Amino acid sequence: MLRPAPLSYGSMNKKVNIKDIAKLANVSHTTVSRALNNKSRIRQETKEKILSIARELGYRPNLIARSLVMRRSKTLGLVITNIANPFYTELAQGIEKTATQLGYNIILCSTQSDISNEKQYIEMLRSKGVDGIIFSSAHMEDPNIVALAEEGFPIVLVNRRTYHPLVKKKVDYIGIDNILGGYLAVEHLIRLGHRSIGVIGGSSESSVGVERLEGGKRALQTYGIMQREDYFIEGNFLKTSGYEGGKQFLNMLERPTAVFATNDYMALGVYQAFLEAGLRIPEDVALIGFNDIEFTAMKGVELTTIGQKKFEMGAIAVERLVARIEEGNESFLPKEILLTPELIIRKTCGFHLREYLIESRRGLMDQR
């Protein structure tokens, strides 16, 4: 045993690195690196010795140095419009959890839907050397994302997407079948007997909004119901815009007997507008939302809505991105993964017989 200065062992405050270990173990720092990353070409004995010294010294690997030489940071960026939105929160949870399971960390970026914010975040993330970026904030037209796709930087689109052909050809998209979701929502209303159905769309800059609207229109078409232009109101996914939209419907001469809001926030806004006007839900007007955010299930609300597996969506997105990173961006063929939405019948449409549910499902199968 030739270890010098054993007294300095335990509580030394200075950060210990691979060379410190090397000295104590009488080997080169490369050997220490080999031991720590248990590579081959090292004797079991010396390896154990090194590992024990490392433990004694409280060695903590410097991942910054490692990142510099490996050109891999084991870090991902998550670019989201707004963390405060419970939808994104659940998504983020799925993302964070599977990322850590796969050995990656997440840097959080909240763009507030501002595309120049998004750009700045992207620059920062790339400067920090993230291995890939998860976007759940894509605009329909998003030059930032097109540029990244063009360059071949590993990204994944989750929830929202871009229709740009190059992006479609190069990057993964994980979402739900929003067209089907919109279809299910409006079909539900139709099957309950509604013929005048108002729809509050999301922002036309977001793919999910237009897709859900499209699904709703297809349902109307399938069931041969006339589409009135004034029954389609464009919102912005915020509760206030649902509230405003609800008021617009209230002021109409022929007010719709049912409303489909393309997300729950807006549905809650509509709900409030109707309640304030003295209407009863579902007796006077039916209401259906989209997303199934946690609180819509609450007593006193119990919104009928379209559910989706947000956690799973996030998980899949990360798995795909990490696979792409580790298998190499070029050889990795892109996929579009659409999860299936689910009609969640609660109380705001006033009908919840089991038979109906079953029949409805069958009806759907026939259509598609």
Which of 3, 19, 43, 128 touches a second copy (CB under 8 A)?
Answer: 128
- Angstrom CA distances, 313 to 35, 133, 308, stand at 38, 15, 9
Pick the stretch among 16-24, 68-76, 178-186, 337-345 that binds a second copy (CB under 8 A): 68-76
- Measured between alpha carbons, how far is 242 from 76 in angstroms, rounded to an integer? 34
Q: Which residue blocks in the chain are alpha helix, DSSP H?
A: 18-25, 29-36, 44-57, 63-70, 86-101, 115-127, 143-151, 165-170, 178-191, 207-222, 239-250, 264-276, 310-327, 354-367
- Measured between alpha carbons, how far is 318 from 92 in angstroms, rounded to an integer? 10
- Measured between alpha carbons, how far is 213 from 201 in angstroms, rounded to an integer? 6
Q: Which does 129 bind (CB under 5 to 8 A by kind): a second copy, DNA, none?
A: a second copy
Q: Which of residues 244-303 bind a second copy (CB under 8 A)?
A: 268, 271-272, 275-276, 294-295, 298-301
Q: How far is the CB of 365 from a second copy (least distance, A)?
A: 33
The answer to whether residues 135 and 147 touch, using CB atoms and an 8 Å cutoff, is: no
Closest to DNA by CB, 1 vs 353, is 1
Q: Which does 37 bind (CB under 5 to 8 A by kind): DNA, a second copy, none?
A: DNA
Whats the size of the chain, residue-wise? 368
Q: Is 84 in the site for a second copy (CB under 8 A)?
A: yes
Q: Which does 43 bind (CB under 5 to 8 A by kind): DNA, a second copy, none?
A: DNA
Count interface residues toward a second copy (CB under 8 A): 48
Q: Which does 335 bind (CB under 5 to 8 A by kind): DNA, a second copy, none?
A: none
Q: Is 344 in the site for a second copy (CB under 8 A)?
A: no
Helix axes 178-191, 207-222, angle to 10 degrees: 40
Residue ranges binding DNA (CB under 7 A): 15, 17-19, 26-31, 33-34, 36-37, 39-47, 59, 61-62, 65-66, 68-71
Pick the stretch among 22-30, 107-115, 245-253, 359-367 that binds a second copy (CB under 8 A): 107-115
Q: Which does 93 bind (CB under 5 to 8 A by kind): DNA, a second copy, none?
A: a second copy
DSSP 304-357: BEEE--HHHHHHHHHHHHHHHHHH-TTT----EEEEPPEEE--STTS---HHHH
The answer to whether residues 215 and 182 touch, using CB atoms and an 8 Å cutoff, is: yes
Q: Is 183 in the site for a second copy (CB under 8 A)?
A: no
Q: How far is the CB of 48 from DNA (least distance, A)?
A: 10
Peptide bond into 282 cis (omega under 30): yes
Q: Which residues bind a second copy (CB under 8 A)?
A: 13, 60-65, 67-68, 73, 75, 78, 82-84, 86, 89-90, 92-93, 96-97, 100, 105-110, 121, 123-124, 126-129, 151, 268, 271-272, 275-276, 294-295, 298-301
